[in-house]
Amino acid sequence: MKSKGSILILALLIVFVLTSCNVNKTIKIGFAGSITGKSFELGLPAKNGFLLAVDQINEQGGINGRKIEVVIKDDESDIDSAHRIVSEFTDENVSFVVGFLTSNMMPAVTDSSDKGDIFFISPTMSTKLLSDIDDNFFRIISVSESEADIFVEVLTEYHNVSKTAVVYDMSNAQFSEGIFERFEKLYSEIGNEIVYTNTLNIPDINYENIAIGINESDAEGVVLITNTIDAANIMQQLQKLNVDVVIINSGWSMGYELLERSGKSSEGIYGVVEHYTDNNSPYYQEFVDNYMKKYNDKPFFSAHLTYDAVMVLFEAMEESQSFEIEDVKDAIIEIGHFGGLQADFYINEYGDAERPKLLLKVEDGKYKTIK
């Protein structure tokens, strides 16, 4: 018969081994975004915001006692790459992914979501095509097409513009096409006219020709539903031709980099956003300080939205005390209301978010909140 001392030592060893195993366990959380390719200006800051959030959570002990193990994938702004990395996430047993970032990656999300093996929470995918569906895709940004209502308001109520040009990027059609179609409907219903369109769907974009086309159309306003690089280049070409038009941009392009790339050509433009680059709340400013210390750069809006997305996962996992997809989904829905870096937001039973939208205007090289 074993002595009581031996049994006690054996029991302590078992407890030690079990505790050690639990400490060494991690929870894998993936990131999927365009670190390279056409939408890199969205993806690089998003990746940085993701890592900043993970570092802070891990420094505080992780989630339910487990540190986060990051798995970062670059979709290269290409849908085939997106499908490939979804398969890689599955093979690597990654059940939770922060991403994708652009709405044109929707097919990769829906194919995986139908299988139920990955839960996606996107910082910036705002296509209406993913709304009101009970699936494994949640997001922390509102549906994008409502931007069109504000475009119409600015052009018709602020400036009485009856003829407008629209440039929208069909390489991200799930995002831009919905905004364009709603704008076209609302704008024409009140007797106004779209006199020029360009869909940027060719590999080599001639920005000068776009500006010439806008000028020759006699447009009084321009709506740009494009990424930062394309918007900045179009505005610069319009300035070179001395084209006097009211310009309003979608939230896709609005950030510090737009001001840096476009220079004086951005003066007076409007933008519709769910974020404010110069937000002065202490919570957001602390994020900006930490971001700049780590990356020596100002955060693009995708950085703080990705940070928010990670924190939603963190809160839901802590609340549910689980790493199972269904438990985390239920916890997010149950919590419903979340405090973001810039503003509170809500996530409904379908995983769709509601955030307040802001109308900005560039004055003296800086963004100013108009409404």
pLDDT averaged per 10 residues in sequence order, the chain, 371 residues = 53 47 77 92 94 97 96 95 95 96 90 82 90 93 90 97 96 88 96 96 88 97 95 97 96 87 95 82 92 93 95 97 96 96 94 91 92 85
What is residue 122's three-state secondary structure? strand
Residue-level pLDDT at 152: 97
Residue-level pLDDT at 148: 95
* Full strand arrangement of the beta sheet holding 26-33: 67-74, 26-33, 96-99, 119-122, 137-139
In angstroms, the CA 154 to CA 160 distance is: 8
CATH superfamily, domain at 145-273? Response regulator (3.40.50.2300)
Return all residues near 106 (Cβ < 8 A) that are at least 6 apart: 125, 127, 129, 130, 174
Residue-level pLDDT at 6: 56
Phi-psi region of 353 (alpha: psi -120 to 50; beta: other; left: phi over 0): beta
Query: Domain 10-141+281-354, CATH 3.30.930.10 — does that match?
Result: no
* Residue at token pair 């003296």: 364
Residue-level pLDDT at 246: 98
Inter-residue contact 29 to 94 (CB < 8 Å): yes
Residue-level pLDDT at 4: 52
58, 63, 69, 75: CA torsion to nearest 10: -110
Query: Which of 58, 138, 126, 85 lies closest to 309, judged by CA?
Result: 138
Q: How many Cβ atoms sit within 10 Å of the Cβ of residue 159?
A: 14
The most distant pair of C-alpha atoms in the chain lies apart, rounded to whole Å, by 99
Residue-level pLDDT at 257: 85
pTM as predicted:
0.79
Residue range(s) in the chain whose domain bears CATH number 3.40.50.2300:
10-141+281-354, 145-273
What is residue 366's three-state secondary structure? strand
170, 174, 178, 181: CA torsion to nearest 10: 40
Tokens of 370: 């108009």
Residue-level pLDDT at 7: 55
Residue-level pLDDT at 180: 96
What is residue 178's three-state secondary structure? helix
